[in-house]
Structure 1
């Protein structure tokens, strides 16, 4: 269905940043503009993953309480909910490059503050929660804006490959980041936070040098209840988008075993920080391999059913990880989990970008980020609470089984998503 007939407001006039000619689909990564975007995403995600590993291990060292690991996720989640309407509106009204660069600069300063507190020896769990909440607030603006920026870097025809390649940057970072964070933690959390701050700063410099492939369309309508809530209304009116976003959200919410990895590493698999780094990297190994495969071989048929199948495999892999007491098997289950999750991510992200007008991508992206990105943190909270009640193994198994039930229910609730054939149904 052509998106030009779906705009709830008049399109904003074309802005005037410098633009450059489009590359052919098969040569997306050979283009310097997309490479700059790709490396910026790589650096900011590595920085965040390093930060997350240090926070998880440090808070568990300080408290030895699984509920506190879940609280870290909740503290990150709340700012995203509180700022969802503001962040989407800002992303559609102002220069997206400047927003992303500002967020990454703030993240660099916050990570540097964590480094100073850790090296000074005065940090405690309360300080950690304050810093985590502030990082969550900056990422509430950065994530949807960075996603909304991508369609201005490539053409619509290139977008499915670009989404997969951009996802590969994130997954490569999730492989590299936890490994670096786990090994660097041997030297102390202050060193880990310093590395994180440096990478956030590099990402900000890279984003500052991006020129746009296509001129962005900005929201010019006055602020009103209608414009502020337009992202929700748009998703609700599109069953394919609503089904894809909600399916991924519920699966991530139920399968939030990542919060329990410090417990699995220390108490079930009997390993140390290096083992935690390997566990956190394992899902990204599978996800990176799948992202590179999808960049080379985009999904051309039965995209909806492939997404449902991938989420079902995600649930099975979660159960296998839950019952495993052997590190190699646990890592293998997490690799499969990551690969299946990447299929769902690419399908959902491509549908959101292609089925949304440019002057609404910030608001739709903000809703998407809260439903998906923040559900990671809420899933960690759910896993922490469930683990406190049922134990870590029971919590993970329950999440995997719940994911399988959700797949069955969602196929009946959203038949339009199950019937979706091609990702790209619009002209280039």
Structure 2
């Protein structure tokens, strides 16, 4: 039952259903992404490719997932602001169900090939391009204004946990049966579809009636460029994770450096998830309230250091410890960044700003996968991660100077004029 005067977002039915859907979808999505990388690398190595050449195939998988997101970003954000965000999210779930079913069938039949993996990677990129802005922009419309900061934090934590725990789950399921991650992923998509279908009609701010689609897209991009807090937070993550992303090369380390196989891959993928889960649990009891900007910068700094240490490691236990720290630091920075972005963005622009944020997340993740794979092809996987970790540290130092607002932001509280403007727009939308 929904409380008449809820004191927490989880007391609101629509938000509980939304959270269930987003978490289920993200679990299934990232379980698939890990296994797609593992199967790509193994098919390439079994075909006689060198470690460097096989790493290049991982780069191609990352690129094929990133390009649709990059090309479609302006339009996916506009769609999230213009159309029913629930319907858009439901359609993306259906497309991802198709991807899971396709890969599950070919894996079970033993006929999976690199072209099939590449084709599904493109479809996943399209689905994720529309899903990110729709889900992110929907969350703030489901709860009262007083609960908005908590709702954003809970939604962000659920997404981040899903990305990391989903990868860990995929690794362990694959060790039981190669097709199992796709079957479980399909089931999780079904759960997500049913949960989101139960969300009732929610108010959505009206866009300017005299604004054409291209003008609306440009308006959203200009807002990101003008708001130094939003721009600094988005680009900090873009560069740091783009340069220092270790996830893309986990198959390389599992098979050819640490030599721990599929079971070891599952453990490597789970370690960041445990770090992220414990960090999220801590924030659920002790929400971050002070010095949020400086602490985000320190988290990214630690992320870079731990990446360098992981690259040097040849001991499984130490590698797991470094990945644990990587996951914890990543969760810390994502929690702060996403809360700042959502709270410092007007509701009528959240879809487009969320699309820009989603594009940078994809650029840092899938684009970073392509960069890491290409760099590993050129200089080797170990040197690639060392260089990437050092690059993340340099990014923190530069961004603290280029965007001093990140050093001076003490709390999540948005400007008063932004909150008043949002309230007026929501009132107008409800009366139309």
Number of aligned pairs? 407
Question: Counterparts of 1:84 and 1:175 in 2: how far apart (Å)?
Answer: 23
CA deviation map 1:150-188 (0-9, x unaligned): 101223432332233223323443454233322322354
Q: Which residue of 2 aligns with 1:282?
A: 271
Task: Say if 2:77 and 2:351, in contact at 8 Å, map to a contact too.
Answer: yes
Q: Say yes or no: does 1:54 pair with 2:35.
A: yes
Where does residue 344 of structure 1 map in the other structure?
333
Partners of 1:145 and 1:21 in 2: CA distance: 27
TM-score normalised by structure 1 residue count: 0.90
Structure having the higher helix fraction is: 2
1:72 aligns with 2:80: no
Partner of 1:184: 173
Structure 1 segment 301-380 matched on structure 2, within 5 A:
301-380=290-369
Alpha-carbon RMSD across the aligned residues, in angstroms, is 1.9
* Alpha carbons 1:287, 1:342 under 8 Å: kept: yes
Match of 1:216 among 204, 219, 232: 204
CA distance in 1, matches of 2:198, 2:278: 29
Q: Are the equivalent residues in 1 in contact too, given 2:24–2:191 (CA < 8 A)?
A: yes
| SS of alignment partner, residue 299 of structure 1 | coil
Going from structure 1 to structure 2, the CA distance change for 1:426 and 1:292 (only over 3 Å counts) comes to farther
Please list, as runs of the form range in 1=range in 2, the aligned pairs for 1:9-408 lying within 5 A after superposition.
21=4, 23-24=6-7, 27-64=8-45, 65-211=54-200, 215-221=203-209, 222-408=211-397
- The Cα offsets for residues 260-315 of structure 1, whole Å up to 9 and x where unpaired, read as 00011111111111211111121121112212222322222211111111111111
Normalising by the residue count of structure 2, what TM-score does the alignment of the two structures yield?
Answer: 0.90
Instruction: State the shift of 1:72 in Å.
Output: 0.9
- Separation in structure 2 between the aligned mates of residue 128 and residue 22 of structure 1, nearest angstrom: 49
Counterpart contact for 2:78–2:213, Cα < 8 Å? no
Unaligned runs of 5+ in 2: 46-53, 420-432
Deviation at 1:58, TM superposition (A): 0.9
| SS of residue in 1 equivalent to 2:104 | helix
* Deviation >4 Å, runs of 4+: 19-22
- Paired with 2:268 and 2:10, the residues of 1 have a C-alpha distance of 29
In structure 2, C-alpha distance between the alignment counterparts of 1:145 and 1:36, rounded to whole Å: 15
Structure 1 runs not aligned, ≥5 long: 1-18
Task: Write the deviation string for residues 33-70 of structure 1: whole angstroms up to 9, x where unpaired.
Answer: 32222211111011012211221111111102011111
Q: Which stretch of the first structure deviates more once superposed, 321-330 or 219-228?
A: 219-228
> Could you report, residue by residue, the CA deviation over 1:314-347 in whole angstroms, capped at 9, with x for unpaired residues?
1111111111111111111111111111121111
Deviation digits for residues 194-248 of structure 1 (CA, Å, limit 9, x no counterpart)? 2212211211111111136x62213253424321222210010011111111011
